[in-house]
Amino acid sequence: MLALKDVVLVKDNKTILQIDDFHLERGERLAVIGPNGAGKSTFLKVLALLEPPTSGEVFFRGEKVTGKNSLDFRRRMAVVFQEPLLLNTTVFNNVAQGMYFRGITGAQRQRRVDYWLERFGITALRHRKPLHLSGGEAQRVSLARAFVLEPEVVFLDEPFSALDFSTRLELLEELGALLANTGVTTVFVTHDFNEIPYLTDKVAVIDQGNMVYKGGLKELLAGEVTVPAVQRLLEPFKRSGLIPG
Ligand SMILES: Nc1ncnc2c1ncn2[C@@H]1O[C@H](COP(=O)(O)OP(=O)(O)OP(=O)(O)O)[C@@H](O)[C@H]1O
Ligand SMILES: [Mg+2]
């Protein structure tokens, strides 16, 4: 579905991402974890075609991404960020927004928005402005806004980290069921191992701009991965009893 080949991203003379070879299969659900500043968001932005790499190649469904085709490809994906970034208009308009750019109008647009408002339990909020929403409600709007586009790939960058524990759990469960049902290809960035099992059993670890592991979550938590950067990342979780070890 997506691939990176010899990708390097340099900012302010510093290499912040270096991925030699990465493949994301169609229907794959991958969690991405790593310490603050590791390059997780940068990795996601490169994959979502929001940030062109300094060098190297990105492939979407086997086709090399170029300046010419990148916008077309980008419109087949959707991104949800930690901060919902909603427009100062109604919930309905916020969810409908991306469809204007994709030429989806009239009854079809209405039907899709209604469906996704219902699906995320925010139909009653349709006329409200984002300013008057709670964090959890705003994130539901943000999710509806992404899924209404019926994307081929969904990117989520720590979407629930600002939410309280029970709201986070609720949304993780809903999203997990949704992703399993739709089979949409997903990349989910988090800094918390405990969030991963709700969505997937596959994980990539990014450390200092490099992908130091991609594989099963089970193997990782079982301590079978001996890469020092992975051990360092796991250690505080184990010490605090958040994961067994
Ligand atoms: N536009 C930029 N210019 C310069 N440096 C940048 C830029 N964007 C990111 N960086 C640097 O690249 C590194 C990786 O940043 P990134 O946001 O990808 O990390 P992250 O893993 O998502 O971190 P966090 O867990 O805090 O969200 C950081 O050191 C950051 O300061
Ligand atoms: Mg980040």
Q: CB-hemisphere CA count at 13 Å for 169?
A: 3
67 and 164 housed in the same domain: yes
Q: Are residues 118 and 196 in the same domain?
A: no
Ligand 1 atom with the shortest distance to the CA of 191: 25
Please give the Cα distance from 170 to 140 (Å, whole number): 11
Residue 146 is part of which domain span?
Answer: 85-150
Say yes or no: 53 and 158 in one domain.
Answer: yes
Do 123 and 65 lie in one domain? The reply is no
Is residue 204 within 6 Å of ligand 1 at its C-beta?
Answer: no
Residue 242, pLDDT score? 75
112 lines ligand 1 (CB under 6 A): no
Q: How far apart are CA 217 and CA 31, in angstroms?
A: 9
* 3-class state of residue 25 by DSSP: coil
Task: Give the separation between CA 2 and CA 59, rounded to whole angstroms.
Answer: 5
- Written as one letter, the residue type at 32 is V
Cα of 55 from ligand 1 centre, angstroms: 18
State the closest ligand 1 atom to the C-alpha of 35, by its place in the atom list counted from 1.
Answer: 25
At 56, the amino acid letter reads G
Do 189 and 213 reside in the same domain of the chain? Answer: yes
Q: Which residues surround ligand 2, an ion (CB under 5 A)?
A: 41
d(C-alpha 35, C-alpha 191), whole Å: 7
Tokens of 108: 């079809």
The answer to whether 200 touches 186, Cβ cutoff 8 Å, is yes
Residue nearest to atom 2 of ligand 1 (CA): 11
Q: Last residue of a domain, which of 122, 150, 178?
A: 150
By C-alpha distance, which of 91, 189, 185 is closest to 134?
91
CATH number at residue 65: 3.40.50.300
In whole angstroms, give the CA distance from residue 7 to residue 159: 25
Counting atoms of ligand 1 from 1, which one is nearest the CA of 39?
18
Give the residue from 130, 150, 170 where a domain finishes: 150
Phi, psi of 160 (to 5 degrees): -115, 10
Query: 24: which 2 tokens?
Result: 């994301």
Same-domain status, 9 and 130: no
Give the per-residue pLDDT at 75: 92
Sheet holding 2-11, edge to edge: 14-24, 2-11, 55-60, 63-64
Residue 207 CB–ligand 1 contact under 6 Å: no
Out of 8, 9, 11, 17, mutate this one to test ligand 1's pocket (max ligand atoms within 8 Å of CB): namely: 11
Both 143 and 157 in a single domain? no
Task: Extract the tokens encoding 26.
Answer: 């169609």
Residue nearest to atom 14 of ligand 1 (CA): 39
Q: Are residues 146 and 180 in the same domain?
A: no
Mutate to test the pocket of ligand 1, among 8, 10, 13, 42 (most ligand atoms within 8 A of CB): 42
Alpha-carbon gap, residue 229 to 180, rounded angstroms? 30
pLDDT score recorded for residue 205? 97
| 202, amino acid identity | K
Cα 230 to middle of ligand 2, angstroms: 18
- 50 phi, psi to nearest 5 deg: -95, -15
| pLDDT at res. 159 | 92
Does 132 share its domain with 166? no
Shared domain for 129 and 14, answered yes or no, is: no
Instruction: Tell me how far apart the alpha carbons of residues 196 and 220 are, in angstroms, rounded to a whole number.
Output: 12
Residues 203 and 233: beta-carbon distance below 8 Å: no
Which ligand is located closest to the Cα atom of residue 206? 1
Please name every residue paired with 155 in a beta bridge, in sequence order, or none if there are none: 79, 187
Number of folded domains that form the chain:
2
Residue nearest atom 28 of ligand 1, based on CA coordinates: 37
Q: Would you say the CB of residue 190 lies under 6 angstroms from ligand 1? A: no
Predicted confidence pLDDT, tens digits, the chain (245 residues): 999 999 999 999 999 999 999 999 999 999 999 999 999 999 999 999 999 999 999 999 999 999 999 999 999 999 998 887 889 999 999 999 988 888 888 899 999 999 999 999 999 999 999 988 999 999 999 999 999 999 999 999 999 988 889 999 999 999 999 999 999 999 999 988 899 999 999 999 999 999 999 999 999 998 889 999 999 999 888 888 877 76
- Considering the domain architecture, whether residues 176 and 72 belong to the same structural domain is answered as yes
pLDDT at 219: 93
Asked which of 150, 183, 198 is the last residue of a domain, the reply is: 150
